[in-house]
Structure 1
Amino acid sequence: MSYPIFSFFSGSGFLDLGFENSGFDVVYVNEIHTPFLKSYKHSREMLQIEEPRFGYHNGDITELLEQVQLREYIQEINSENSTFGFIGGPPCPDFSVGGKNKGREGENGKLSGTYIDLICQHKPSFFLFENVKGLWRTKRHREFFEEMKNKLHDNGYVTTERLINSLEYGSPQHRERIILLGFRKDLLEQSGHNVEEGETILPNGLFPWENHMKYSMETIEKLPWPATNEFAEDSSLPKPEGIIEELTVEHWFHKNDVEHHVNAQQFFTPRAGLAKFLVIEEGDDSKKSYKRLHRWRFSPTAAYGNNEVHLHPYKARRISVAEALAIQSLPPNFEIPTDLSLTNAFKTVGNGVPYLASLGIAETIKDFLGGNQRDEINRS
């Protein structure tokens, strides 16, 4: 069963790729930032994935509330009696603890409300909303989050939510994100999930959140991860006993053959500060800036803004775009255009949802809708 997906705030399409590789059909892509859309198109061409059925929309999502064309696309899907979904992660700096903290009043914060309005207007069968945990942690942001959910409930959706960590899915990056999912009540009935009259939250245990999680955070946190080691360029360091190798930076650098990747030579070269690069210990990520990754540990959140300088574990430089893609757990053959500016390249990589987390969540939604069971029946 291939469910059509409309993607918003698509960036370079890490979230979309997880859905595509789970058997969903991304039919429409929306992204306002032209370099990101260029990267999206390039990556799909290299991966030999067909263009979306309804193409690309390069513009502000706010315009879509009044756009006739999008309405016609959705009418076409509805005429085919298709179950279809919306997926998107609105820009999050206004809710991030380390960001602007303007909340719903910020330009980015307003886009979360717009995305919810778009869902309520077009009523997809299901939706995914992704954002930072600041929406939960700060009281006024939490109030806004609850208001958005109430609006969704009033429009016939039953929701479930979870704070996920990409480590749980096998991605080598400590990245926490809120995932809010909503399903129309008629879809729940079709999928064999009966909910009580007036129920707006899926009962605990009904949505199989853990189906495609490889590790629990409790297990991960108990492991003897190395702390710091003296930095030595091009040094060797044996893998410690008792850790999960799949969750380490070194494993992914080798898995993706980052030294020979198309984006291997793309990294910022400092005008000054090389001396500082030489004295920061391997694994010292205690400061806001100039964090040196440890080869036998996972990376901190891959947010490559002006203040987030991530250094290579055993080279006297910042990490490359190829290495950042590996930390986002993308397939080795995923690439972005080499003529993208370094700022745009690192921003689009840092903004993306880690691929393995995207894949796991998509597979879990498919399980819930009965798609994987139907696939098994069709193959037998």
Structure 2
Amino acid sequence: MASIFSFFTGSGFLDLGFEKAGFKTAAVNEYHAPFLNAYKHSRKVMSLPEPMFGHYHCSIEEFINDGKYVDSLKEHLAQLRTDGEMVGFIGGPPCPDFSVGGKNKGQEGENGRLSKTYIDTIIQHRPDFFLFENVKGLWRTKRHREFYEQLKSELRDAGYILTDHLINCIQYGAPQDRDRILMFGIKKEYMSSILDDTSCKNMLLPEALFSWESQMQYDRTEALKQPSWPTTEPFNEGSLTSKPSNILEALTIEYWFKKNDVLNHPNADAFFTPKSEKFKTVDEGDTGKKSFKRLHRWRYSPTAAYGNNEVHLHPYKARRLSAAEALAIQSLPAEFELPATMTLSDKFKTIGNGVPYLAALGVAKTIYEFIDKIK
């Protein structure tokens, strides 16, 4: 029905959601070799087919202007269209330059410029549709918002009708407070006979046709702010506690640890050993510090960001989280694993960079149903 080209693939969390929603993967692009190797490893373990046109280990800049792979991408698009396929680009450019807790350099930062490069890739190659994913700072911070609106203007001028939405991944069932801005665009030619004159003129996709919330399982406020969530309690290594009443159990750390059988997962022993004993004084559920946040077993996790000295501690074990536990917090299927040869730093970086799988799946299903509707 539709094929996707994935940019900034990482280890493929976003791609996996699209694959499970019914899209075919035409090709993937990732600059960091260990992440691309992890992508290949996980697909092999999960018995998923390899991308039709393979893997591109390069910068996205190689696909625009006079880049090395411009002609290859053109040929791939032409072949798929000859076969009657709709073609989409998906990607979440590296985002620390737009993150309030990150570098905050914006479009001038090394990573910030890649957002513009991704948009340029869309405009040059003109896929039928695309998805752009980034941090909420691009949406909510004034100077970054101006850059974001500029990107949208360029896409409209190139003939794309747009819709965007600020989502929290917990709304799709991932046990994590993680806000993201998503933008979807489709060529105007697909919509001119469907939309009214006002929508076409404004290049806006109405919610009646494309509902970002169609696959959401939870209301944002209900999931994050419900009064029944426990707060903090003294850390007690190896303790057992009963599930509190009136909580959303499927959004808790403990639920996902058991669901993914994290202690028997191939990545169960992949964790950093803290150098100081001070971390044992952090209460269970105390996530208010810049670093050394101890998760609460009966609550959701803060954003799974494992860089910039942010350390997440196990609720009831005297250690940091394992890669298996971090993957569970990212709502990955239990059979997803990272290669044993991957360094700990790369494991946690790729996990923290990824889109939670259930959010990816929900968004992909929304797009799939929309495409099916207009066709």
Give me the TM-score of the superposition, normalised by structure 1.
Answer: 0.94
> What residue in structure 2 maps to residue 177 of structure 1?
180
Structure 1 distance, partners of 2:46, 2:229, is: 35
Q: Is 2:137 aligned against 1:134?
A: yes
Q: Assess, with a 3 A threshold, how the Cα gap between structure 1 residues 103 and 318 changes in structure 2: closer, same or farther.
A: same
Structure 1 distance, partners of 2:12, 2:165, is: 22
> What residue in structure 1 maps to residue 313 of structure 2?
311
Cα contact 1:293–1:311 (8 A) shared by 2: yes
Q: Equivalences for 1:163-242 in 2 at 5 Å?
A: 163-189=166-192, 192-193=194-195, 196=198, 197-220=200-223, 221-242=225-246
Q: Assess, with a 3 A threshold, how the Cα gap between structure 1 residues 261 and 194 changes in structure 2: closer, same or farther.
A: farther
Measure how far apart 1:201 and its partner are: 1.5
> What residue in structure 1 maps to residue 27 of structure 2?
28
Measure how far apart 1:203 and its partner are: 2.6
User: Which of 93, 106, 109 is residue 106 of structure 1 equivalent to?
Assistant: 109
Identity %: 57
> What residue in structure 1 maps to residue 335 of structure 2?
333
Measure how far apart 1:187 and its partner are: 2.2
Letter in 2 for 1:48: S
Q: Assess, with a 3 A threshold, how the Cα gap between structure 1 residues 25 and 193 changes in structure 2: closer, same or farther.
A: farther
> What residue in structure 1 maps to residue 278 of structure 2?
276
State the number of aligned residues.
369
Measure how far apart 1:370 and its partner are: 2.0
| Secondary structure in structure 2 of the residue aligned to 1:16 | helix
Measure how far apart 1:306 and its partner are: 3.6
> What residue in structure 1 maps to residue 158 of structure 2?
155
| Secondary structure in structure 2 of the residue aligned to 1:171 | coil
Measure how far apart 1:368 and its partner are: 1.3
Residues 121-153 of structure 1: per-residue CA shift (max 9 Å, x gap) = 111111000000111122111110000000000
Letter in 2 for 1:61: I
Residues 259-302 of structure 1: per-residue CA shift (max 9 Å, x gap) = 000000000012x21x2121110000010100000000000000
> What residue in structure 1 maps to residue 92 of structure 2?
89
Structure 1 distance, partners of 2:258, 2:215, is: 24
Measure how far apart 1:235 and its partner are: 0.2
Letter in 2 for 1:62: E
Structure 1 distance, partners of 2:230, 2:174, is: 18
Q: Equivalences for 1:336-375 in 2 at 5 Å?
A: 336-370=338-372
Q: Which region of structure 1 is more displaced relative to structure 2, 252-261 or 72-81?
A: 72-81
Measure how far apart 1:189 and its partner are: 4.8
Structure 2 distance, partners of 1:9, 1:92, is: 11
Measure how far apart 1:69 and its partner are: 1.0
> What residue in structure 1 maps to residue 48 of structure 2?
49
Cα contact 1:283–1:313 (8 A) shared by 2: yes
Q: Is 2:117 aligned against 1:121?
A: no
Measure how far apart 1:204 and its partner are: 4.0
Letter in 2 for 1:39: A
Structure 2 distance, partners of 1:188, 1:297, is: 43
Residues 328-374 of structure 1: per-residue CA shift (max 9 Å, x gap) = 00000000101100000000011000000000000011111126x99
Letter in 2 for 1:49: L
Structure 1 distance, partners of 2:221, 2:350, is: 31
Letter in 2 for 1:266: A
Cα contact 1:329–1:354 (8 A) shared by 2: yes
Measure how far apart 1:195 and its partner are: 5.6
Structure 1 distance, partners of 2:295, 2:230, is: 11
Give me the TM-score of the superposition, normalised by structure 2.
Answer: 0.96
> What residue in structure 1 maps to residue 60 of structure 2?
61
Structure 1 distance, partners of 2:196, 2:77, is: 26
Measure how far apart 1:193 and its partner are: 4.9
Cα contact 1:324–1:349 (8 A) shared by 2: yes
Structure 2 distance, partners of 1:14, 1:233, is: 32
Letter in 1 for 2:278: K
Structure 2 distance, partners of 1:69, 1:249, is: 44
**Unmatched tracts of structure 2, length 5 or more:** none
Cα contact 1:195–1:202 (8 A) shared by 2: no
**Unmatched tracts of structure 1, length 5 or more:** 375-380
Structure 1 distance, partners of 2:104, 2:202, is: 32
User: Which of 264, 272, 292 is residue 260 of structure 1 equivalent to?
Assistant: 264
Q: Which region of structure 1 is more displaced relative to structure 2, 221-230 or 261-270?
A: 221-230
> What residue in structure 1 maps to residue 255 of structure 2?
251
> What residue in structure 1 maps to residue 11 of structure 2?
12
